Amino acid sequence: MKFRRSERLIDMTHYILNHPRKLVSLTFFSERYKSAKSSISEDLVILKDTFEHQGIGTLQTFPGAAGGVKFIPKVKQDQAEQFITRLCHLMEDPDRLLPGGYLYTTDLLGDSQILNEVGKYLASAVSERDIDVIMTVATKGIPIAQAVAKHLNVPFVIVRRDSIVTEGSTVSINYVSGSSKRLQTMSLSKRSLKEGAKVLVVDDFMKAGGTINGMIDLLAEFNATVAGIAVLVESEYQEERLIDDYISLVKLTDVNVKEKKISVVKGNYFSSNLEFLL
């Protein structure tokens, strides 16, 4: 069955968006749609222009017999600013205040649309990096890691506070929490991470950076390397932070329990030398 161009474009778009950062040969599309490679190349030009215009991402083409096309998630700066500004407003809702000055964010992480956007914007910030796997710590970091992993087309692994029997043999380390200065433990299944993997560390919240620093120490036990650090929320911290190089979407600057006021501003997302679509 030979596809019409309109059918080809729809199916090709669906395939490419569901396989980000995967090199797909023109031969694959040519055989899939029973079409000449010249026609496929013309289709890809249309998709590239549309993706970039709509702020979806871009297509990278690679010449030669082993070449093809690869979809790279990218966003427009104005779209990112609109979303992050909206996120700040949502987090400043005084109803989020919990005893002890903690913030309720479960509803945000449970909103599939917001979670998808969070994953898209964090993924686009590191989409050009060589990343094999996403790492996060249970529990609130899990949905964020899953969302980022989807947009980068890589698996994700979960670091746990306590080892469980279904994880099999684990590697455990002790680390010091950056803010509370308490000694804690984290573990990761030996089967979940290959030696030498390039890992993007993702978390929902960072204050001093003790938990993320613990994950970095845990990666050393697997001879893995840190490909980047990305967090949803960073908190204002007066002392020296344990982590310097990271990307954050929003920054919690103040929580006034007495006045029930939460202050949230944009994180360092726009000062991280990111490449946005024009």
Q: Exposed, middle or buried, 121 (CB in 10 Å: 0-12/13-18/19+)?
A: buried
Report if residue 78 sits inside a domain.
no
pLDDT at 13: 97
* End-to-end Cα spacing for the chain: 38
Final residue in a domain of this structure, among 73, 107, 128: 73
Name the residue type at position 30: S
For 8, 133, 136, 155, the CA distances from 49, given in Å and listed in that order, are 16, 30, 35, 29
Tens-digit pLDDT profile for residues 59-89: 999 988 778 999 999 999 999 999 999 999 9
pLDDT at 144: 98
pLDDT at 192: 93
C-beta of residue 214 within 8 angstroms of C-beta of residue 184? yes
**Spatial separation of the C-alpha atoms in residues 121 and 111, rounded to whole Å:** 16
Do 120 and 13 lie in one domain? The reply is no
The DSSP secondary-structure symbol of 213 reads H
Only one residue has tokens 């279904």, namely 166
Return the CATH number at 186: 3.40.50.2020
pLDDT grade for 259, boundaries at 50, 70 and 90 = very high
pLDDT grade for 196, boundaries at 50, 70 and 90 = very high
Determine what percent of the chain is predicted with pLDDT higher than 70: 99
pLDDT grade for 178, boundaries at 50, 70 and 90 = low
What SS3 state is found at 18?
Answer: coil
pLDDT at 139: 87
pLDDT at 163: 77
- Helix %, strand %, coil % for the chain, to 5? 40, 30, 35
Question: CA torsion sign, 175 to 204 to 78 to 127?
Answer: positive
Do 154 and 223 lie in one domain? The reply is yes
Tens-digit pLDDT profile for residues 147-173: 999 999 999 999 998 878 888 999 999
Do 165 and 48 lie in one domain? The reply is no
pLDDT at 237: 85
pLDDT at 179: 66
Do 175 and 217 lie in one domain? The reply is yes
Copy the structure tokens of residue 199: 């890992």
Report how many domains make up the chain. 2
pLDDT at 143: 97
pLDDT grade for 240, boundaries at 50, 70 and 90 = confident
Owning domain of residue 29: 5-73
Q: Compute the average pLDDT of residues 215-219.
A: 96
Least confident of 36-50, 102-116, 196-210, 237-251: 237-251
pLDDT at 66: 76
Do 102 and 65 lie in one domain? The reply is no
What SS3 state is found at 21?
Answer: coil
